[in-house]
Structure 1
């Protein structure tokens, strides 16, 4: 279990006192055959992994339920689709680019035959996201009974999904407690469920380029409230369109930027990898996410098919943390939040999708400035007046292609993330993640995903020193390593199991009995 700092864990850090059919075997006779890309390149190493799985250790105290549920294998970043495909581009690249503005093609979907009957739904998939939500072909209901087709006729599309996760520390003498006194996800058996419903309306029928209205709702329920808390409300109310032959993308409304910036989910797949990494650093800095959407304007400029820059102007989430934000604004409809100001984010990146002999690559870096009123941890008794900032750098690179001709996105990947915020304003000041993951490694399981993630979450030296001065046992960082296997059991159905070792799963202070955790997690993601 990756030190998962669930979105809600972040809350806990701030809010709680001390976050065509193929043979089953390759020609070589092995269950899988991976061939290196034609051009060898430096592999992007990884940095720490915070488990999307809200029970992850760090999550234990920094649970940030980013709910980045990832499902299908993603091949490319939403790259600008030019009028003509560049010479030498493969069919796969063209298809990916064509699907770009209707929801990126996910790897899992590449293995599910996409009959022509599903092509008509592409323009109805949610636009403007960085994660890969599956298309109608990779859902349980698909187009049974013709209901999806009937809605498409009048310009309506939809996707719904649910994630259910169980987390439990397997180590003996782990100081089990009552749920009321639980300090981290998994200290006691912890269960949570996240459910989403999102509907789109196609405005391109009225001459608006790629125009779309998106409305979504999110419901979550936790046995351990600091990991949540329980809530039901909106996650998106948005308007989207493009300009100048898709050179510019505009998205405005109540948004969840955790799905649109930074790319914090392992493999970019929210439903298929419930244990993907999440970053509490971004939430502390004020970034909004599914349980805490805020008014936002996002503008993306595409220099070419691979190079882009995205600027986001959003109302910040509460400077008191995720838990405080959700409890005071559970529906997400409030226009303002106490002490919350404006967060300006800018991300630049380079992204190309996988093609035969061309490995997938995604490099991105971002900075943010927040004029909300934060409490200064060095001078906690002084009036709030300090503005916050954040930065992140991340990279993912396909290291090996298993089946370049048929599904180029299958293979082995490596990546890393580094994030930081000022230690005098944030309890978590630095985050490092290194990841190694594989998509469709086995010919008999072309849609499964395996991940190994290591993370280190560093606490603010001001917060640590203050806790030590009170005579508490303290630790300055929390390290974790996790392994997860996600199986694609059928159209729209994913199941994951994971094991995460965490050194110091609680926030800053601890007792000898809760100094370590070995969290077992099991999760299902079902898409409709």
Structure 2
């Protein structure tokens, strides 16, 4: 069987949807009067110095690392304050996930998607940063960042197993943060596109390897990093920007081979993986009282690696993809907490049909941050995803197997992230996928996924 569905591989990003996307505004609004049943994050900001720690969080990702005010121990018994005084910050966030197909689970055949059998996944990330502005050589606004990750998956098609260095990089900012440069080892896909916003729950039904960004060789979360460099240039208002990056591609032979050739996460080279280039232009408005969030961007990837060309039946040089994405906030029920409200996120992607299994897709999400007044840190999401299967891929699969492959795959997802206590979220999602496997054709799946996220 050829897999088209790996629900668990991106689920650990859900916490970044439910809370860290709020992180850039929590600190700013923490002292505002809040009459919420769940005001634990704001209370932590009042009773500790956690809001001041956030400027030392790992930078560079389009979605901020979780605020220290939303951890099980914001002050870590005084350790964080002591480390901050020396320029250091440590954080940890972890998740445990179980998924199961309620519609057509089958333990008697080899597993081809997450949930076909009860599927377990665990992930923990330890992050440390240092304020390089204290050194002087790197400028007045610079940061060293490192992250070590440990993953465990009961199904190898769902992701990696073991520990590795997930990030080792330096980020420097100049001209009042209008010029931002980062270089080192990291997942460059986290810096572009806004992959985590809104559609991560919907996309999880098919897994990260079905994403066109991943197909083009851009490393995304959950996989091992590559050597990379990216440069952001902002307008004086910091709303308009151009973002350029270059990195080693992931291996065209797949993430498991890439991982075998890059055991620590710090390998400069991997056989067959060459340099790729990515550029994105956009306009972004951050949420403020009486100002809705809005973000429109478009970009493209060009990969110089050799990829299998299904049209001619052999590898040929290069691969690429293009995308357009738009995220918009529509409501703001609490101006003192401006990130709260109703949003939509839509993404359109296209890649060459001769070199990619999926050559087009549309991803749409409707999501609400703080859907109820008493639940300001919860998040409810409806996601829809439609993927087109390349006609050249279908011909190649039909020739190789003698079976008729699918021509599309659709996923509908409902998800709710519940803020249990400060630093602890419980996310449950239900995803229906009409075609979870490329070939042979497989009955529709209804995968229930439960994930517990906790952070220190």
Equivalent residue number for residue 450 of structure 1: 380
Question: Could you give the per-residue CA deviations for residues 43-73 of structure 1, whole angstroms, max 9, x where no partner exists?
Answer: xxxxxxxxxxxxxx7326xx75484341416
**Structure 2 residue 157 is matched with structure 1 residue 157:** no
In the alignment, which residue of structure 1 is the partner of 2:56? Answer: 124
Two-structure CA RMSD over aligned residues (Å): 2.7
1:190 equivalent in structure 2 = 119
Residues 112, 260 of structure 1: alpha-carbon distance in 2 compared, 3 angstrom cutoff: farther
Between the aligned partners of 1:517 and 1:247, the Cα distance in structure 2 is 46
User: Are 1:326 and 2:255 matched, yes or no?
Assistant: no
- Paired position in structure 2 for 1:460: 390
Per-residue deviation, 1:134:
1.5
Q: In structure 2, how many angstroms separate the alpha carbons of the residues matched to 1:330 and 1:292?
A: 9
In structure 2, do the counterparts of structure 1 residues 64 and 524 end up closer, same or farther at CA, with 3 Å as the change threshold? closer
Residues 351 and 125 (structure 1), Cα distance of their counterparts in 2 relative to 1, 3 Å cut = same
- TM-score, normalised on structure 1? 0.78
Residue 523 of structure 1: which of 417, 434, 451 is its match? Answer: 451
Q: Evaluate the alpha carbon distance shift between residue 277 and residue 475 of structure 1 in structure 2; reply closer, same or farther with a 3 A threshold.
A: closer
- On the 8 A contact 1:372/1:388 being kept in 2, the answer is yes
Residues 112 and 398 of structure 1, relative CA distance in 2, 3 Å threshold: farther
Alignment counterpart, residue 305 of structure 1, candidates 231, 238, 245: 238
User: What is the CA deviation profile of residues 495-518 of structure 1, one whole-angstrom value per residue up to 9, with x for unaligned ones?
Assistant: 101111110111x2124xx32101
- Corresponding position of 1:88: none
Q: Aligned partners of 1:109 and 1:366: how far apart in 2?
A: 39
TM norm structure 2 = 0.89
Shift of 1:385: 3.0
Give the drift of 1:93: 11
Q: How far apart are the structure 2 equivalents of 1:314 and 1:325?
A: 14
Give ranges in structure 2 of 5+ residues lacking alignment. Answer: 30-37
CA–CA separation in structure 2 for the residues paired with 1:525 and 1:437: 19
Runs of 5+ unmatched residues, structure 1: 1-16, 20-56, 79-91, 97-106
1:200 and 2:122 aligned? no
User: Retained in 2: the 8 A contact 1:229–1:327?
Assistant: no
Name the counterpart of 2:21: 74
- Aligned residue in 1 for 2:250: 317
Q: Are the equivalent residues in 2 in contact too, given 1:143–1:149 (CA < 8 A)?
A: yes
Superposed CA offset, 1:299-343 (max 9, x none): 000112211111001111111222321233232121111111111
Q: CA deviation at 1:526?
A: 0.7
2:227–2:247 contact (8 Å) kept in structure 1: yes
Matches within 5 A, 1:62-461: 64-65=9-10, 67-69=12-14, 70=16, 71-72=18-19, 74=21, 95=28, 111-115=42-46, 117-172=49-104, 174-177=105-108, 181-207=110-136, 208-267=139-198, 280-290=211-221, 291-303=223-235, 304-380=237-313, 382=314, 384-403=315-334, 405-461=335-391
Distance 1:276 1:490 in 2: 30
1:313 touches 1:345 (CA, 8 Å); kept in 2?
Answer: yes
1:25 is aligned to: none
Higher relative contact order at CA 8 Å, sep ≥6: structure 1 or structure 2? 1
Q: Which has the higher strand share?
A: 2
Q: What SS class does the counterpart of residue 288 from structure 2 fall into?
A: coil
Q: Deviations over 1:6-26 (max 9, x none)?
A: xxxxxxxxxxx736xxxxxxx
**CA–CA distance in 1 between the matches of 2:40 and 2:349?**
31
Deviations 1:362-409 (A, max 9, x none): 1111101110011111222x3x33210111111110112222x22122
